[in-house]
Chain A
Amino acid sequence: MQDELIAIKGHKDGLLISLSPTENWQSVADQLASRIDDRADFFAGAAITVELGARPVPKYELSSLKALLERRGLSLSLVLSDSATTRESALALDLKTDANIRTKATEKQETLPVDPEETGTRGVLLRRTLRSGRTVHSEGHVVVFGDVNPGAQVIAAGDIIVWGKLRGTAHAGADGDESAIVCALDMSPSQLRIAGYIATSPADKRKHVEPETALIRDNQIVVAARRKSGKG
């Protein structure tokens, strides 16, 4: 059995099926069909998320995949893809893709907040100053033990914590998580983004620098000093 063509995993909303992005489409589809038929009771009624990776899937192929699943009583609920072609196909078939999760970020029920307690949550710790021109991307949280200089960029799906001066650009909740926060010892970013919101630092120099936290409240980014007591 060619296991590497297909991987099937449990998923919070049903089943996640990852299809090899390089193998011949027909053999991948055939194998998927036989895997489902082998264990029909396991699959019965599940909502399916398909992960297609970088493979560009034209509309007719995606449509046949959808039909293949529907014939077996399964619904194709979400298409995950890195390819613009595939996303267009999904859009044409009125299927949800990860792209429209990103654009519909404001609809609360569609975003999956990154749970900091969750095991396996990814994060990056950088023990250095990020200088101009440096960009850091992470699908989890980012902690910078150092400064983020003007011209440097930190983009994280989760939270961003800067143990130092934040003067570059920070984008927390980059996949649409509006509960993401940004903290810094000296919060003066050239631009601050959380999910779909953007803010810039006030132009005037502050005399008193203290650790601050930025978060979304009432549909805008607010920056607040950390309170000393546990209250509030």
Chain B
Amino acid sequence: MGGKVVTITSGKGGVGKTTATANLGISLANLGKKVVVIDADIGLRNLDVIMGLENRIVYDLVDLVEGRAKLRQAMIKHKKFEQLYLIPAAQTRDKMAVSPKDMVELADKLREEHDYVIIDSPAGIERGFRNALEPADEVLIVTNPEVSAVRDADRIIGLIEAAEKGPGRLIINRLKTEMVNKGEMLSADDVFDILSLEIIGIIPEDEFVLSASNSGVPVTLNEGSRAGMAFTNVARRITGEDVPFMNLDENPGFFKRLMRFLDGR
């Protein structure tokens, strides 16, 4: 059946779906995979901006679905990676312009020639989410370690299970270790406790992410960024590699390091 279709969703807005999509697309391309990322957030497109491809858009997803553009014309090649393409969302239409069936047909065409098709789902549980979910082989749910985001993630996981696309895997984004240690933020364990879903990645809060999004060079290309590294690890886990979780403690003291050493960790 060719490539794998991975949908990135969250329920709640603003938790980092688009950032995750951009970074996973680039990380997978960096690992030598052929990748297409699709922005399914019609009417509110962002993915092109985060990937630095905004000024190259001629045709978009709706043009493609409505037959005004051929597949090749709507696929924008990434500046750095020859094997990475973006299909941008339309800015002027809404979610009803595309149906779940259109998305399945598009994904089936794309998976013939690419290893991964990554779909950035819009927030919410309506048509846009259905469009993004329908063609998925695997669903990744992005959440933040906060009660409202976890609640929405829980809801969306229920819908994913009901659509028999489950169970999905979880990306916990913007975790602040020092706040967790002070008991002010949910820990990854707390989130797992509620959602009981396999965690595929824990992304630490990282100020590089914002500057990277603004400049259109996703953070995963920045070798000094911990969030970038975490995204790369997620990409490797998507390919089936077994990658250990990185230690998120910012500055583990000598004593802690010693304890960890003695623990054999």
Contact = CB atoms under 8 A, between A and B. Distances in A.
Interface in B140-195: 147, 151-152, 154-155, 157-158, 161, 194
A134 interface: yes
A131 interface: yes
Given A150-B151, A151-B151, A132 B196 contact: no
Interface size class of B (residues with CB under 8 A): 10 to 19
Nearest to A129: B196
Q: B interface, by DSSP: helix, strand, loop or mixed?
A: helix
A167 B154 CA distance: 13
Interface string B113-157: 000000000000000000000000000000000010001101101
13 contacts: A129-B196, A130-B158, A131-B154, A131-B157, A131-B161, A132-B151, A132-B154, A132-B155, A133-B158, A134-B158, A149-B154, A149-B194, A150-B147
A131 B147 CA distance: 14
Contacts of B154: 131-133, 149-151
A206 B184 CA distance: 17
Interface of B: 147, 151-152, 154-155, 157-158, 161, 194, 196
Nearest to B157: A131
B147 to A, nearest CB: 8
A147 interface: yes
Nearest to B154: A132
A147 B197 CA distance: 13
Contacts of A129: 196
A151 B157 CA distance: 13
B61 to A, nearest CB: 28
A129 B193 CA distance: 12
A33 B161 CA distance: 53
A151 B196 contact: no
Interface in A119-172: 129-134, 147, 149-151, 167
Closest 6 CB pairs of A and B: A131-B158, A132-B154, A132-B155, A133-B155, A131-B154, A132-B151
B78 to A, nearest CB: 37
A147 B158 CA distance: 13
Contacts of A167: 194
Contacts of A134: 158
A134 B125 CA distance: 14
A130 B147 CA distance: 17
A152 to B, nearest CB: 8
